[in-house]
Amino acid sequence: MSDKVNFGDELVSPEEKTRRVGEVFSSVARRYDVMNDLMSGGMHRLWKDRFVNRVKPRPGEEILDMAGGTGDVAFRMAQRGARVTVADINADMLAVGEQRAGRRGLEGLTWKVENAEALSFAEASFSAYTIVFGVRNVTDISAALGEAYRVLKRGGRFCCMEFSSSDWPGFSNLYDAWASNVIPRIGKAVADDEESYRYLVESIRRFPRPNAFTAMVADAGFVRAAAEPMLGGLVTIYSGWKI
Ligand code: SAM
């Protein structure tokens, strides 16, 4: 890849984007969980519950939780008996996750540093691939979707949750004001890091619209690619199947 890509609202080289996304998550790792609660008013917990209900993890099945960060989604799936590999490009996020898993006495999780664009796993390794609030941070999204397809078994499911802009007129204005003005300030007050939270908001605005992302999922080879919007499209669950 040689063309410029967006890092938030800035245009940078692909290599610089990957490096700077790494810096963002290393910077926010220790405060990531408390910031999630503050930024979403605790709603991210409900969204993740709903997401995992859609994934329907089964006891003993192998699931790859990509961009799994500090483990929120993986923990929910492991509690239902799935064997979950939490993979993320950022070792600092995974380290916080491992500590959290230890405090909760959760066992059976595998933690692995991986770039979603080029996975080290053999093809047909997993029954489900999940990626929550992660894909918008990946530099080459098509490469990541191709890798998701490769590592899934036949009959495996791709499940993704991501933010987008809401379609509800009044709500979308309110949300834009909250995201652009309030979230970076909370980031400054709580984590002394306004810039990282400004990037997170900008990256949401830059992420493809749900129909465009659904088309990318289908292009990667998944069948029955679909988008299920929640909250007027503020958060969308995407799914697809490898047959
Ligand atoms: N899934 C977790 C959750 O919902 O709480 C963490 C989401 S966090 C907003 C985004 C994660 O994506 C970060 O942990 C970051 O390191 C990871 N990430 C960004 N680019 C990545 C890449 N190319 N490959 C793997 N992980 C990546």
Measured between alpha carbons, how far is residue 39 from residues 1, 48, 82, 182 in Å?
33, 15, 29, 8
Pocket perturbation via mutation, ligand 1, pick of 89, 121, 130 by most ligand atoms within 8 A of CB: 89
Average pLDDT, the chain: 92
The pLDDT confidence band at residue 88, using thresholds 50, 70 and 90, is very high
Strand partners of residue 7: 10
Region 97-106: what's the mean pLDDT?
A: 95
Instruction: Give 67 Cα–ligand 1 centroid separation in angstroms.
Output: 4
Q: Looking at ligand 1, which atom is closest to the CA of residue 115?
A: 24
Percentage of the chain modeled with pLDDT above 90:
68
Ligand 1 near 64 CB (within 6 A):
no
CA angle 69, 166, 52 (to 5 degrees): 40
Helices 183-191, 14-28: axis angle to 10 degrees equals 60
Ligand 1 near 27 CB (within 6 A):
no
State the Cα–Cα distance between residues 120 and 114, nearest whole angstrom: 7
Ligand 1 near 97 CB (within 6 A):
no
- 180-227, pLDDT tens digit by residue? 778 888 888 877 888 888 888 888 888 999 999 999 999 999 999 999
- 117-133, pLDDT tens digit by residue? 999 999 999 999 999 99
